[in-house]
């Protein structure tokens, strides 16, 4: 399965995203292109195809972003939305009970009335894009220092967002592209009434489990169908992708329209070294610890296992992804290539006196900032404690303080334009499991204690003399944060209510607040402001040197990638461009049906009715990363031929570099979805709707 976007809780955005600098010129099939700048020349040269404006608008408006960290698309005129099971997984779990285990058994709404509301899923459709680079640039005039520019930039972006939201009522985000080479205002139509229509059993969606995750050949039906409602009725999704049950042929041109989360392809070598030597090792250590904590919790019983399942699933996914990234960065050939690219770029910049003066200092500035960051990295990583309730309390403490400031001066996440989505999550009625939260908090306190030592003031504020387990139990058992009404009341009561609260989690969050703010401020002043300015310099330098011939690093905004259905060299032989249902049964019986290669009962019962040669999964050369999960794969007629759900093991280094020889995205084939809905799930209602019948 594909990496999910930002699964590691972050204190400051830069820790999870290495995406700061401008990319090298794009190679064949490479690229996550913005819809305002599709790779027309490459498409025409290689495939003799030029998408029209109507084609691009239609595909964009058929594409959907999910706040659970994935992508999707409309696949019928009545708001039917296709995405991955693993993107829907959180909602499935939140709706599950010991009596109704939708993860184990799947879900199918045989009638419209049975379609099941998701507790806190928000989806966004990108309805307009506007280049606001000159407005942001104008705001920076007069600001001299990186810190002053940082503040001015933040204020300008928040202002543009607020103005847009007030004028249009649409979710409005100013997006930084090309590391600040461009700024764009993206407006989204937002939907929050999203109902589950169909999901298969987790065991077939994620057949092969963590073992097969990020690999290919693959045999997963990683799909889910939602329906988007507004005012209690399914929306009219005028723009939707027509279903092509035949899929695409070997070597056929295909596109992926979705939301790659973040890449760091134009990071400087200094930044990559920070990621390789500091960020990734710490992330991997933290994830390993969290997984171990949750596995121990799961072992306590079936209910605990159900509660922790999604978390473990996501963490294990990130763990394997980070390990793949780390392996990629330890590969000297990749780093040597990066060094070479940087040397070439730098040589071109310094050869031109004007460019040299404007941009030449950027590399050293970034290297210096990364060095400073390394000095406080342990605090950044190990002060991020793992507790849903503490996280909610901290958000409330921040909220009431930030909301009093002028919009432009607030911390990121608390701008006017972001408040609706923030509150939607903050007041989510989704259950919070106190036993699990105790385990998580205690586990992360223990790890942090061993890393930062007992003298760390942040940890002392939480522990207050208690052992981690005791502190976690006291806090979780004493707090009322699990109740959305309590959270709402505190937010409504503002600073006074929060100051007066004796809820132990709020009390701790208040104590931690100055330290958290100090670290964020320090990071902004010493690292983010510097790398933002240097990033802008390098972004402009790249435009100057190479022209706008390329795509910006991924930012969890809508992108179009092109490629082909295509196998690749693997394991000494060839991986085929598709797999079949035969392969599903082969892999299951090859492991004697042992977990994670067991099959849901239905698959043993209906086997003889299936056409086993039906394509199941497939691979394409499209350039995707985490966040693309659930993206549609479409042909040149904008017909749906597949559903992205993963990248292969060779794609894990894709955050830093794209290798068209072996980097593959993995998709569910439309033929498999139709065969399964029809013959395994008897979901004829959906088949008819998908086929337009």
Point out which residues bind a second copy (CB under 8 A). 208, 211-215, 217, 250, 320, 324, 570-574, 576-580, 582-583, 585-587, 589-592, 597, 612-613, 648-649
d(CA 323, CA 291): 14
DSSP strand E in 344-471: where? none
Q: Name the strand (E) or helix (H) holding 74.
A: strand 70-74
Nearest to 632 by CA among 87, 211, 27: 87
Closer to a second copy at the Cβ: 577 or 645? 577
Tell the smallest beta-carbon distance from residue 584 to a second copy (Å).
8
User: Which CB, 208 or 261, lies closer to a second copy?
Assistant: 208
Determine the Cα–Cα distance for residues 687 and 678; give it in Å rounded to an integer. 7
Whether 387 and 440 have beta carbons less than 8 Å apart is answered as yes
Which CB atom, from 108 or from 597, has the smaller least distance to a second copy? 597
Residue 358 in tokens:
């404007």
CB of 580 to a second copy, least distance (A): 5
Distance of CA 474 to the CA centre of its chain: 33
Q: Are 111 and 335 in contact (CB under 8 A)?
A: no
Nearest-approach distance from CB 250 to a second copy, in angstroms: 7
Tokens describing residue 508: 């701790």
- Looking at the Cβ atoms of 218 and 383, the one nearer to a second copy is 218
Min separation Cβ 671 and a second copy, Å: 12
**Residue nearer to a second copy on the CB measure, 125 or 335:** 335
Beta strand segments in 609-650, E: 615-620, 632-634, 639-647
We find the least distance from the C-beta atom of residue 574 to a second copy, in angstroms, to be: 5
What's the min distance (Å) between Cβ of 209 and a second copy?
9
CB of 131 to a second copy, least distance (A): 41
For tokens 């940890």, the residue is 459
| 673 vs 245: CA distance, rounded Å | 9
CB closer to a second copy out of 109 and 312: 312
User: Which residues touch 548 (CB under 8 Å, ≥6 apart)?
Assistant: 37
What is the rounded distance in angstroms from the CA atom of residue 256 to the CA atom of residue 644?
8
Cα–Cα distance for residue pair 586/597, rounded to 1 Å = 10
Q: Which residue has the tokens 């093991």?
A: 649
Q: By C-beta, is 189 or 587 nearer to a second copy?
A: 587
Nearer to a second copy, 496 or 594 (CB): 594
Residue closer to a second copy, measured from CB, 450 or 590:
590
155 touches 138 (CB < 8 A): no
In the complex, the smallest distance separating the C-beta of residue 576 from a second copy, rounded to whole angstroms, is 4
Least Å distance between CB 658 and a second copy? 18
What DSSP string runs through 533-584?
Answer: HHHHHHHHHHHHHH-S-S-PPP-SS-EEEEEEB--EEETTEEE-SEEEHHHH
């Amino acid at each position: 399965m594909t990496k999910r976007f930002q699964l590691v809780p972050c204190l400051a955005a830069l820790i999870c995203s290495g995406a700061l600098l401008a990319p090298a010129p794009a190679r064949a099939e490479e690229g996550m292109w913005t819809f305002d700048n599709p790779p027309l020349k490459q498409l025409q040269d290689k495939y003799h195809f030029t998408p029209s404006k109507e084609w691009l608008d239609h595909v964009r408006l058929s594409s959907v972003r999910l706040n659970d960290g994935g992508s999707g698309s409309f696949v019928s005129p009545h708001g039917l939305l296709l995405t991955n099971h693993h993107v829907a997984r959180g909602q499935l779990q939140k709706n599950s009970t010991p009596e109704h285990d939708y993860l184990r058994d799947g879900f199918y709404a045989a009638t419209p009335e049975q379609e099941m509301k998701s507790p806190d899923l928000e989806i966004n459709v990108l309805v307009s894009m506007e280049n606001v680079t000159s407005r942001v640039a104008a705001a920076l005039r007069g600001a001299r220092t990186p810190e002053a520019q940082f503040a001015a930039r933040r204020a300008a972006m928040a202002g543009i967002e607020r103005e847009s939201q007030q004028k249009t009522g649409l979710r409005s985000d100013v997006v930084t592209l090309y590391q600040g080479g461009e700024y764009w205002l993206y407006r989204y139509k937002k939907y929050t009434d999203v109902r589950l229509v169909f999901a298969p059993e987790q065991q077939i969606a994620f057949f092969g489990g963590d073992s097969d995750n990020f690999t290919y050949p693959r045999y997963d039906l990683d799909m889910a169908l939602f329906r988007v409602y507004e005012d209690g009725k399914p929306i009219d999704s005028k723009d939707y992708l027509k279903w092509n049950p035949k899929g695409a042929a070997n070597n056929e041109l295909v596109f992926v329209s979705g939301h790659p989360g973040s890449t760091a392809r134009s990071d400087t070598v200094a930044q990559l070294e920070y990621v390789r030597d500091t960020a990734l090792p710490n992330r991997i250590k933290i994830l390993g610890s969290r997984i171990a904590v949750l596995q121990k919790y799961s072992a306590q019983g079936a209910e605990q296992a159900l509660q922790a399942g999604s978390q473990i699933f996501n963490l294990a996914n990130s763990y394997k992804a980070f390990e793949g990234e780390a392996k990629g960065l330890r590969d000297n050939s990749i780093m040597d290539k990066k060094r070479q690219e940087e040397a070439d770029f730098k040589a071109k910049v310094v050869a031109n006196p004007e460019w040299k003066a404007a941009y030449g200092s950027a590399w050293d500035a970034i290297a210096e900032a990364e060095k400073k960051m390394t000095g406080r990295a342990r605090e950044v990583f190990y002060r991020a404690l793992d507790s849903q309730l503490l996280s909610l309390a901290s958000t409330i403490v921040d909220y009431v303080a930030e909301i009093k400031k002028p919009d432009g001066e607030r911390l990121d996440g608390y701008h006017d334009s972001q408040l609706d989505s923030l509150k939607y999550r903050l007041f989510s009625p989704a259950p919070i499991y106190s036993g699990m939260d105790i385990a998580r908090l205690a586990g992360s306190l223990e790890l942090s204690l061993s890393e930062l030592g007992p003298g760390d003031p942040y940890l002392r504020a939480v522990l207050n003399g208690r052992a981690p387990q005791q502190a976690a139990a006291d806090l979780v058992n004493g707090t009322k944060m699990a109740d959305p009404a309590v959270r709402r009341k505190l937010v409504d009561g503002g600073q006074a209510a929060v100051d007066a609260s004796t809820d132990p989690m709020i009390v701790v969050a208040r104590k931690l607040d100055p330290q958290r703010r100090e670290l964020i401020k320090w990071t902004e002043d010493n690292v983010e402001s510097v790398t933002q300015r240097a990033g802008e310099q390098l972004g402009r330098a790249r435009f100057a040197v190479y022209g706008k011939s390329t795509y910006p690093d991924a930012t969890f905004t809508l992108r179009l990638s092109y490629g082909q259905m295509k196998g690749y060299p693997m394991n000494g032989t060839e991986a085929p461009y598709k797999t079949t249902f035969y392969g599903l049964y082969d892999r299951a019986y090859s492991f004697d049906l042992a977990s994670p290669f067991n099959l849901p009962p239905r698959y043993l019962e209906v086997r003889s009715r299936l056409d086993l040669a039906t394509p199941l999964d497939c691979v394409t050369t499209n350039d995707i990363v985490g966040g693309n999960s659930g993206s549609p794969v479409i042909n040149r007629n904008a017909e749906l031929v597949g559903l992205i759900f993963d990248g292969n093991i060779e794609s894990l280094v894709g955050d830093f570099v794209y290798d068209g020889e072996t980097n593959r995205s993995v998709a569910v084939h439309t033929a498999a979805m139709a065969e399964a809905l029809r013959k395994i799930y008897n979901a004829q209602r959906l088949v008819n709707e998908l086929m337009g019948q």
